[in-house]
Amino acid sequence: MRSKAVATTKSAANRHLTPASCACETSNGRKAAGVDPEIKQANQNRLRRIEGQIRGLQKMVEEDRYCADVITQIASVQEALRGVARNLMRNHLQHCAAKALRSEKKVETEAMYNELLELIYTHLR
């Protein structure tokens, strides 16, 4: 129950932030622009491997495998996901954030700083 309250508090705190305007913006909503095809393919391959690891974890739990072994595999999946997040953050910084931060628009620049800080504080620890 406590984690639900924390999640509600976080989302309520984030509602006051203005979404950053960046190169990712399109008329149909936010979509990544300028994604390097090689990085995209590497991320897709990595996510497919992670998907396989998750299926392996499900099987380990079904088979009542030794807890320490399951925990080790969970840590491996978490690190793989962090790798995908780092690739995405690098792309976001190089394309979307760079454009917004170079902008002469104070509101746009401030919104991007806030977005980047929020990403770092909540997701990229």
Question: Structural domain boundaries of the chain?
Answer: 37-123
Q: What is the pLDDT of residue 3?
A: 40
CB atoms within 10 A of CB 58: 10
pLDDT along the chain (125 residues), means of 10: 40 46 54 79 96 98 98 97 90 86 88 91 78
Whose CA is closest to 19, among 122, 90, 119?
A: 119
Under 8 Å CB-to-CB from 13, ≥6 apart: which residues?
Answer: none
Please report where in the chains the tokens 């320490």 appear, as a residue. Answer: 68
- The reported pLDDT for the residue numbered 103 is 83
Q: Please report the pLDDT score of residue 12 as a whole number.
A: 39
Which H or E run includes 29? strand 29-30
Quick one: pLDDT at residue 68? 98
Q: Tell me how many degrees the CA angle 97-99-100 measures, rounded to the nearest 5.
A: 65
What pLDDT score was predicted for residue 15?
40
Compute the C-alpha angle 48/52/55, nearest 5°. Answer: 140
Q: Is 25 in a helix, a strand, or coil?
A: strand
**CATH architecture assignment, domain 37-123:** Up-down Bundle (1.20)
